[in-house]
Amino acid sequence: MAKMSDSSFPVIYQLKVVLLGISPMIWRRLLVSSDSTIADLHYTLQIAMGWEDIHLHHLAWQCV
């Protein structure tokens, strides 16, 4: 896990979200604050993909 910076400001992470098994590839780049919760990430993902909270999704992490 990334270490918080010494300042009191949250770190901004850039996430690349890819839908697997779809052609052509569908992906989004999200900027997420380090103080975001999983609920915040869920909400952000719903908006970025244009979903209405009716799709099932599975999160898998790959750190680069």
Domain ranges of the chain: 10-64
Indicate whether 7 pLDDT > 80.
Answer: no
Q: What is the pLDDT of residues 8-35, one digit of tens each?
A: 889 999 999 998 899 999 999 999 999 9
CA atoms of 7 and 29, how far apart (whole Å): 25
CA 56-59-63 angle, 5° bins? 160
pTM: 0.68
Cβ atoms of 30 and 15 closer than 8 Å? yes
Specify the pLDDT at position 44: 93
The percent of residues above 70 in pLDDT, for the chain, comes to 83
The residue among 5 and 14 whose pLDDT is bigger is 14
Which residue is listed with tokens 């993909």?
49
The residue among 59 and 16 whose pLDDT is bigger is 16
Q: What count of other Cβ atoms lies within 10 Å of the Cβ of residue 41?
A: 15
